Structure 1
Amino acid sequence: MKPNYTLYLVTEESAPLEKLLQTVENAVKGGVTIVQLREKQSSGKLFYEKASKLKALLDRYQVPLIINDRIDVALAVHSAGVHIGQSDLPLLSVREMVPDSMIVGISVSTVEEAKIAEKNGADYIGVGACFPTQSKDNAKVLPEGMLGSIIKEVSIPVVAIGGIKLENIAELQKNKLAGYAIVSAIMKAKNPLESAETFRKAIDR
């Protein structure tokens, strides 16, 4: 089954387990098509616990789970995929470690990084930050036109990430994107289901 990157939810670490599961379930009911579990501070044990419970939940809805950074956790819970950054293990090494069926995504911010990612076997790339964002302290905003340049140079799916809100999504729609990755605007929404529905309407327009 080919992954659908349309509305790509990236989780927010501060949510305790029960709240995380509840928020993600509502977001999926609202139209989220793929979920990345991102935990920067959690112990391996807690990350594993969140990942296995989240996978059980998402399997019921046939929504793929992507694990951020931790290849060991991704393999342990048999997640659909893993997402790495430029400072993580090299993509070629990750490809060797995981089954061929596993989706491997990587964050890029330049044309050069995007081309290398495609050459080294990435299934998709996350490009950002598209706008200023609070969910990643060190995220640099892409220079004007960079997203479009990256899309022109690669043939693998491109997912935009970083500070995407309803009011700026139209700006991104000039580009041929495979998907839109949302963090705070859904994870911190009063009503995640409604928020996901509104994003889907805006994207599918």
Structure 2
Amino acid sequence: MSSLGRLHLITDTRPGRDPLTVVRAALAAARADLVVQVRVEDSATDREAYDLTRRVVALCTPYGATCLVNDRLHVALAAGVAGGHVGADDLPVGAARRVLGPTAVLGATARDPGTAAEAVAAGASYLGVGPCHPTATKEGLPPPIGVPGVRAVAEAVDVPVIAIGGVTATHVPALRAAGAYGVAVVGALSTAADPGRAAAALLEALTC
């Protein structure tokens, strides 16, 4: 999966956020190096998730950027995106692979070598690993695993590891040195005064 973009933007649909403006700015900076993962609040309807996904796809297509959908795999299929991502409380990886088919991009969440290896064996094409650092973006997360935790997972699998959780550009060099292929961010872009500049800084750190 070497063609997978290194910078993953997870949409922030909390009240007061403007996910499409952030996606536009990040795409202008990162282009095909960006993966946009559509994640909506649990309270959002499938129709809302689908409508947002279709709008993100329309933004991504001219840049050749990848769009994925978090959790709601039926929305991913309906919207015709490249694939999806499942977390610990979503469908098991093997079931998700059967839903999406053999060629789709399928990400899975992992935080230790054992579950990471199981996810890859079940069909995950990349892993979201974390949280690396403390983050207030999502409630109920387990304690951060830090750079050593990312390294342990990266050494155990042969698919891209995407570090997530409180990641900023200053964290990227250490995460890359630990074996992370890329990083996934929410607040680092959605709360930035200039999301495009923040995306450019992240991408520069990832490609140095």
TM-score for the superposition, normalised by structure 2? 0.91
Structure 2 partner of 1:24: 23
8 Å contact from structure 2 (residues 176, 182) kept in 1: no
Worse overlay, 48-57 or 94-103? 94-103
In structure 2, what residue type is equivalent to 1:34? V
Q: Distance in 1 between matches of 2:115 and 2:5?
A: 20
Cα distance, 1:144–1:156 mapped onto 2, change above 3 Å? closer
Instruction: Give percent identity, aligned residues only.
Output: 28
CA RMSD of aligned residues (A): 1.8
Q: Distance in 1 between matches of 2:74 and 2:9?
A: 21
1:83 pairs with 2:85: yes
Report matched runs for 1:83-162 at 5 Å: 83-140=85-142, 141-142=144-145, 145-162=148-165
1:40 pairs with 2:53: no
Structure 1 partner of 2:191: 188
> Post-superposition shift, 1:96?
1.1
How many pairs does the alignment contain? 204
8 Å contact from structure 1 (residues 6, 33) kept in 2: yes
Report matched runs for 1:162-173 at 5 Å: 162-173=165-176
In structure 2, what residue type is equivalent to 1:69? D
8 Å contact from structure 2 (residues 132, 147) kept in 1: no
Q: Distance in 2 between matches of 1:16 and 1:79?
A: 26
> Post-superposition shift, 1:23?
1.5
> Post-superposition shift, 1:144?
6.2
SS class of match (1:172): helix
Cα distance, 1:144–1:78 mapped onto 2, change above 3 Å? closer
5+ residue gaps in structure 2? none
> Post-superposition shift, 1:2?
5.4
Q: Distance in 2 between matches of 1:201 and 1:96?
A: 36
8 Å contact from structure 2 (residues 148, 178) kept in 1: no
8 Å contact from structure 2 (residues 133, 146) kept in 1: no
Cα distance, 1:108–1:79 mapped onto 2, change above 3 Å? same
Give a deviation string over 1:22-70, Cα, whole Å, max 9, x none: 2201111111511101112311111111011111111121101010000
SS class of match (1:193): helix
TM-score for the superposition, normalised by structure 1? 0.93
Q: Distance in 2 between matches of 1:115 and 1:75?
A: 26
> Post-superposition shift, 1:81?
1.1
5+ residue gaps in structure 1? none
> Post-superposition shift, 1:102?
1.1
Cα distance, 1:12–1:203 mapped onto 2, change above 3 Å? same
Give a deviation string over 1:86-134, Cα, whole Å, max 9, x none: 1111111111111322111000111111010111110000000000011
8 Å contact from structure 2 (residues 147, 174) kept in 1: no
Q: Distance in 2 between matches of 1:162 and 1:193?
A: 20
Give a deviation string over 1:130-188, Cα, whole Å, max 9, x none: 00011111222116622111111111111000000123323323212211111101112
In structure 1, what residue type is equivalent to 2:24? E
8 Å contact from structure 2 (residues 14, 41) kept in 1: no
In structure 1, what residue type is equivalent to 2:26? A
SS class of match (1:88): coil
